[in-house]
Amino acid sequence: MHPVIDVQGAVKQYGVGDAAIFALDGVDLQIKQGEYVAIMGPSGSGKSTLMNIMGALDNMTSGKYFLDGIEIDSLGEDALALVRGRKIGFIFQSFNLIPRTTALANVELPLAYQGIKGKERRERALAALKVVGLSERVNHEPTQLSGGQQQRVAVARALCTRPALLLADEPTGALDSKSTHDLLDLFDQINAAGRTVVLITHEDDVASRAKRVVRMRDGKIISDVLNKRASV
């Protein structure tokens, strides 16, 4: 069985010549179905760049990236949109909900872009909101929700399309400890259900919840270890 994520020799270069900066400097990373991976590293280590490439939000200068066996770099604009919609659920540090739009409408959005209509769409969105524990707040707009609640809406939005892969770029970065704890419990639950989860963090206690920790520095992977999964 092929890995969910297969990054081979990924290079991301900004600028040219003497001014060239390598955000990624030859990264190889394979992640198998059902893994729970934390990517750690200081700022500027290239972890976010790697995440954006894995989420098909950014392209790389050279290298290959296979997502679920599909070579992403060879895809056109429309196919990329499909991949983003169906294969990947992406969670941002800053939530990135559509402003002035209810939680339900936000969660329905990726389903709508996939052409799922009316009742089914609504049911799936409500189910996802129920999973993240926001059934009571479906008609609230982002500004009426706390940071933790907004992030859970974002998780519901990422989950409702039943993606193979859940990518989270510092999802707890803007949250207090209680919300962080709730969100990590949610990720555990999602991973336990068989979904692949990859998250970026620079907090050790967040990373300790993952089964595998990848450390980066200066655009390279410097360590890749399995967690002993110490009791929390």
Partner 1 sequence: MSIFEIIRFAIRGLNSNKLRTTLTTLGIAIGVSSVIILLAVGNGSSKAVQAGIEKLGTNTITIQSNRGGFGGGRASASRAASSKPLTVGDAVALSSPINAPDIKQAAPVASASVACAVGTNSSTPGTFNGTWPSWFEASNTSIATGTYFTNDDVTEGRRVAVIGSTVATDLFPGSNPVGQVMRCGGIPFTIIGTTEKKGSNGFQDGDSLVVAPLTAVQRSLTGYNNLQSIVVQAKSAKVQDLAQTEINTIMDSQHKIKNTNNRDYRTLNQASLLQTTSSSNSVFTVLLGMVAAISLLVGGIGITNIMLVTVIERTREIGIRKAIGAPKRAIMTQFLIEATILSLVGGVIGVIGGFAGSHFKIVGVQPIIIPASVFLAFGVSILIGVFFGGYPASRAASLRPIEALRYE
Using CB under 8 A as the criterion, which residues of the chain lie in contact with partner 1 when the complex forms? 52, 55, 57-59, 77-78, 81-86, 90, 92, 96-101, 105, 109-110, 112-115, 117, 157-158, 161
Residue number with CB closer to partner 1 (88 or 183): 88
Residue 154 CB, shortest distance to partner 1, in Å, is 10
Residue 217 CB, shortest distance to partner 1, in Å, is 22
Residue 92 CB, shortest distance to partner 1, in Å, is 8
Residue 105 CB, shortest distance to partner 1, in Å, is 7
| 120-130: burial string, b at 16+ Cβ within 10 Å, e else | ebbebbbebbe
Looking only at Cα atoms, what is the longest distance across the chain?
57
Q: Which sign does the torsion angle of CA 44, 45, 46, 50 carry?
A: negative
Residue number with CB closer to partner 1 (96 or 227): 96
Q: Find where tokens 């706390």 sit.
A: 146
Could you give the 3-state DSSP secondary structure of residue 5? strand
Residue number with CB closer to partner 1 (52 or 201): 52
Which token pair is 123? Answer: 């049911």
Look at strands 36-40 and 196-200 and give their pairing.
Answer: parallel
Which token pair is 163? Answer: 């993606």
Residue number with CB closer to partner 1 (59 or 223): 59
